[in-house]
Amino acid sequence: MLSTSVNASVTYNTYYEHLAISNEPTIENLTQLREKVIDTFGQDFADTVIYQTTPKHWYIHTLYVTTPDTFFINNTDAEEVVFKTSKNGWSYNGYIQFENVTLISSNSPDNPGYGTSYYEAHNVIFTKFKNIYFGYKHGQNISDLSFSNITLEETMYGLSFQKADNITAHDIIIKDGDRKHGGGLLYCQMENSHIYNVQVINASEKNLDVTGAYGVQLSGNNNLIHDVYIDYVAYSGTSFTGGTNLTAYNITIIDAGHNGFEVEVNDSRFTDILIKDTHRHNLFQVGKVEKNATRGNNTFENITSINPNIGYGACITEGSFDTIISNSTFVGKGPYISNSKNITLINIVQKDAIGTGSAGVGYLSTIVSGTSFSYLEDLKIIDGKFSNNNWKDLWFNYGVNKIINTNYTTVRLDRDYFSTNYYLDMIILDSNENPVPESIIKTKNEVSSVAGCLNGLGNDMASFIVDSNGRTYLPQVNRIQSPVLTSMYKELGADYLTLIHEATITTLSGDIVTLSNITPDPSWYREDPNVPTYTITAIIPDDSTTGPHITGFAPSEHNPFNAEETKKFRVWANEELTNMKWYVNGNLRSSGSMEYNWVVEEGSHTIMFAGSNSDGSVTQSWEVTEGVQIPVEEPVEDPTLSPNDTTFTPSASSLTAEVGKSTTFNITTDQLFTSLNWYLDGEPVASGTMSYTQEWVAPGTHSISFEGDAGQDLISNTWTVVVSEVGSSIISISPSSSVVAPGDTFSLDVYIDPGTPLSGSQFDLQYSSLASVISVQEGGLFSSGGLSTTFYEGEVDELASLLSAVYSAIVDSGTISNPGSMATVDMVAGSSTGMLELALPDVLLSDADSAPAPYTVSNATVLVDSAPVFDPISAEPVTEGDTIMFMVNATDPDSDPLTYSCTSLPDGATFSQTTKLFTWNTQEGDAGEYSAVFDVTDGYLNDSVTVGMTVAPVSVTDMHPRWDVNEDGVVNDLDMTLVRHNYGNTYTDNLPGWDVNQDGIVNIQDLSMVASRFGEIIE
């Protein structure tokens, strides 16, 4: 290698034709660099390698800045810089910060240059480069930097952030790239970063789908990306690979040459995604067969898929697991599931698949041979609608599919089986028609073990708790506690099998009633999953009276009755009836049965059942009106729950019990769990249920633990239960407070509940360096009733954190049998934080004969900690269509690491726990007052704050819906085309129709407003 050098600060490589700056902090810009080159190499040399063609327009050979000095290329002395690409392919490389400048790579169209920087860039246009890097996988890391207003034009590849941590990058435009290789954000390797407002337009040619040119290619953990628009790219619109905890929302992908929205990550959430006219699959989640890697625990919500070409609207395949797609629309082919486990579709609308065979189906499940994942298990379609498909609505080529409350017309089964299921709506009343809350309903399939009882997530479950109104939970309130019964299942080559169920209701007071022969049928289908169409009312009979009692009836007068549909009227009784008659408007219609199928007639009608036996008679009547549904109260969230909250019963974490007795533990939540597990002393004892009962057979201290997997959240709780033998005393530690701040004083009562008469006791107290003992006083346990006692306050060894030999005993004769405090220990917390463990390692109890008495110890803990506190937060008022964005922050007096969460989010809003950023892209119709509740915890204590938000309505000048941009009466491709062709344009007045939300800029929000109403016909 040839080089010319005068000193070590500036060198020039004559072979590669590049300048290099090293350890030269006084050179901060191009002007100073040229002066240095003149001083070092002379005027003539400088005029060939670095010079101005016109004021602030520079030409320079490849530039290397090799040490982290501050070197700027910005508008202080440069508006445009043309780099000559060196023989090794670089235009610039190193520690350069760009601001307010245009950079051009120049040599020839066949030799564009690479650019790499380890500093920030703002308001920069890059033209005709091969690829732009910030951070480089073969170079240096970047962290804690921001990048904004970056434009790439005519780039061969794209823009890359590599080896990057805690990066914020926004307002990026990448357009008109190389026809074969051009992409957007490529090979980005990022952690804990935030990317938003990205446009990738005409990056490459769509029909060249073998080139691997992506719109956005991102790997890493804890990243947030949103408001991305990708239009016309050779390969896939996105490629999210090799990471976890990715949040992505408000992403539009149009005309991708391979797959549209491609996902290979775990534990992530994707919301408000529009994919249209992709060559293959619109949405694609896949594992890595060659690496035997699985992908899942992901949620997709508000997905709009329009007309994929040779693929499907959503392809979930090759080792995918625990994936939920909800509240989504598929125009053209819908979901395709293969070689995966536990895939759930909730509230999916699919229509208009054209073509023959597999090209004309709405949903397909199958197994693809030759992969590492030769299985297809636990597939669920919930609250779906499939219609107007050219061949079949549903095709089950392989797999066990559970269809819950789903509307479809045509189905094909090639292997395995599928079941059709409906929600059970049941109300529990006493004999005076009062609701019986917190009753337990246990369901049982009386026909087959293959299919039977589920919850609203499609998971096997047979025990459910009712709400405070004595009613089963609706799906929108608590999907896990919303019961589902199988109507029928179909095996290949066999007839449809109709299932019959039994429901046993147990009240808190122990009353039991059983309703048998429950047969769900299509009349149970709910157009709105939260509006029951068939309600069973169970009645707890009055045992104080004799004779037959009605123990249940169906339907309810509140259910809808539509002309010419068949409703099954049914009555249950606690005794067999010998005479049974059904009347309609006083006319006998049927006899000899406890049920009657009535074809609904127009008008108002009275349906009555009359039955009797030798012990007496019963009647039940209904007043119904065809076409009128009596309004029922809106479903109310469980008052003990806030969104994503969970309550545990018993509420106390420390309990006592006796051998031979049992304790029941319950979970009430609105979380969507993919698994539920119970543990006794760390060993699994039950799964798939929200309730568990433990029979106690051995004394000692036991733990009952619950773990529920709710996607990105793991919900858990542990109860400590001290189980004693019958007649055994319990000695426990009772702190004056479960939480104290560093430096606070608190006390402990050593409490004894005698199982046999006692005459004295002694104990040691073990603690830790988190606190120290101040003093010990005698309690009133042994002196109750005027008895004389002797008491010793024990000895303190602070090095061992031990208080030893504290005793109290009755002088002369006498015993005590009532519980009370034996001693009170005063303590002070130290300066450190944590969980203070308190134990009684050595205890002695004396009975009436001064012999040792049996006992069980219950230890305790005290948290030494200070709660975090939120900084003041406010949100500026906005207009419909604007974005509300703010960051929350809290401080902790003990400098503990903090975890943030958010509840009561407005619909469509998101909150990132990693970046602490709240974002809400408001839409048309969102005008009003809103609030969001934020929580922060240091692992022990928490704080919460409520932030109010005001969304004002936009001024309306045209009553025609704005999403019908061309006002032709239908929302379709023509409206989307008008928005796309004007994408990025800004306006100050006379706002055009393609600025749909009338905010002055045509962007992804306008596209989303049109896409969300795609296919709507304007009357």
Q: Where are the alpha helices (DSSP H) in 328-392?
A: none
Same-domain check for residues 353 and 410: yes
Strands 146-153 and 131-134: unpaired
Kindly provide the b/e burial profile for residues 642-659, where b requires at least 16 CB atoms within 10 angstroms of the residue's own CB.
eebbbebeeeeebbbbbe
Pairs from 331-334 (Cβ < 8 Å, separation ≥ 24) = 331/304, 331/305, 331/306, 331/307, 331/1014, 331/1015, 332/305, 332/306, 332/307, 332/308, 333/308, 333/359, 333/361, 333/362, 334/305, 334/361, 334/362, 334/363, 334/386
Instruction: Please identify, among 823, 844, 864, the residue that sits at the C-terminal boundary of a domain.
Output: 864
Q: Which residues are bridge partners to 986 per DSSP? A: 1001
Q: Cα 652 vs. chain centroid, distance in angstroms?
A: 28
- For the chain, what is the domain count? 7
Strands 795-797 and 247-256: unpaired
Higher pLDDT, 966 or 561: 561
- Indicate whether 249 belongs to any domain: no
Same-domain check for residues 761 and 853: yes
pLDDT tens, 114-147? 999 999 999 999 999 999 999 999 999 999 999 9
Same-domain check for residues 873 and 859: no
Range of the domain at 527: 420-540
Q: Place 668 in a pLDDT band, splitting at 50, 70 and 90.
A: confident
Q: What is the pLDDT of residue 1?
A: 31
Instruction: Please identify, among 507, 540, 573, the residue that sits at the C-terminal boundary of a domain.
Output: 540
- Indicate whether 927 belongs to any domain: yes
Same-domain check for residues 824 and 780: yes
Q: What is the pLDDT of residue 3?
A: 40
Locate the DSSP E strands across 281-360: 283-286, 295-296, 299-306, 314-317, 320-331, 335-338, 341-351
pLDDT tens, 726-778? 778 889 898 988 889 999 999 999 999 898 899 999 999 999 999 999 999 99
Instruction: Please identify, among 540, 569, 603, the residue that sits at the C-terminal boundary of a domain.
Output: 540
Distance CA 34, CA 23 (A): 16
Q: Cα 377 vs. chain centroid, distance in angstroms?
A: 22
Same-domain check for residues 735 and 712: no
pLDDT mean across residues, the chain:
89
Q: Place 582 in a pLDDT band, splitting at 50, 70 and 90.
A: very high
- Neighbour-count burial of 884, counting CB atoms closer than 10 A to its CB (0-12 exposed, 13-18 middle, 19+ buried): buried
Same-domain check for residues 536 and 455: yes
- Indicate whether 290 belongs to any domain: no
What average pLDDT does range 287-316 have in this prediction?
89
Residue 109 has pLDDT above 70, yes or no: no
pLDDT tens, 199-244? 999 999 887 666 678 999 999 999 999 999 999 999 999 999 989 9
What average pLDDT does range 879-890 have in this prediction?
85
Q: Cα 78 vs. chain centroid, distance in angstroms?
A: 48
Distance CA 550, CA 575 (A): 9
Same-domain check for residues 438 and 533: yes
Distance CA 232, CA 204 (A): 7
Q: What is the pLDDT of residue 250?
A: 93
Same-domain check for residues 500 and 401: no
Same-domain check for residues 841 and 878: no
Q: What is the pLDDT of residue 859?
A: 86
Q: What is the pLDDT of residue 334?
A: 96
Share of the chain above pLDDT 90, in %: 59
Q: What is the pLDDT of residue 844?
A: 93
- Indicate whether 641 belongs to any domain: no
Interacting residues of 183 by C-beta distance below 8 A, sequence separation 6+: 157, 158, 174, 177, 200, 203, 204, 213, 214, 215, 217, 233, 234, 235
In the structure encoding, which two tokens stand for residue 604, read together? 């108002």
pLDDT tens, 583-608? 998 888 999 999 999 999 999 999 99
- Indicate whether 13 belongs to any domain: no
- Indicate whether 430 belongs to any domain: yes
Q: Which domain CATH number covers 675?
A: 2.60.40
Residue 666 has pLDDT above 90, yes or no: no
Distance CA 316, CA 305 (A): 14
- Indicate whether 288 belongs to any domain: no
What average pLDDT does range 827-851 have in this prediction?
91
Q: Which domain CATH number covers 824?
A: 2.60.40.680
In the structure encoding, which two tokens stand for residue 514, read together? 């059983």
Q: Hunting for tokens 């036996």 — which residue is that?
A: 613
Q: What is the pLDDT of residue 641?
A: 37
Q: Hunting for tokens 């032709």 — which residue is that?
A: 968
Q: Place 664 in a pLDDT band, splitting at 50, 70 and 90.
A: confident
| Bond prior to 555 in cis (omega within 30° of 0) | yes
Q: Place 622 in a pLDDT band, splitting at 50, 70 and 90.
A: very high
Distance CA 326, CA 558 (A): 29
Interacting residues of 39 by C-beta distance below 8 A, sequence separation 6+: none
3-class secondary structure, 235: coil
Same-domain check for residues 371 and 311: yes
What distance separates the 2 farthest-apart alpha carbons in the chain? 123
Q: Which domain CATH number covers 1001?
A: 1.10.1330.10
Residue 4 has pLDDT above 50, yes or no: no
Q: What is the DSSP string of 873-926?
A: -----EETT-EEEEE--EE-TT----EEEEESPPTT-EE-TTT-EEEEE--TT-
Q: What is the pLDDT of residue 212?
A: 72
Higher pLDDT, 874 or 149: 149
Distance CA 738, CA 752 (A): 19
Q: Hunting for tokens 């902790």 — which residue is that?
A: 892
Distance CA 128, CA 114 (A): 10
Residue 644 has pLDDT above 60, yes or no: no
Same-domain check for residues 883 and 939: yes
Q: Which domain CATH number covers 574?
A: 2.60.40.10
Q: What is the pLDDT of residue 290?
A: 59
Q: What are phi and psi of 770, to 5 degrees?
A: -70, -15
Same-domain check for residues 656 and 681: yes
Distance CA 905, CA 207 (A): 41
CA distances from 337 to 282, 343, 365 (A): 14, 8, 5
Distance CA 588, CA 844 (A): 79
- Indicate whether 604 belongs to any domain: yes
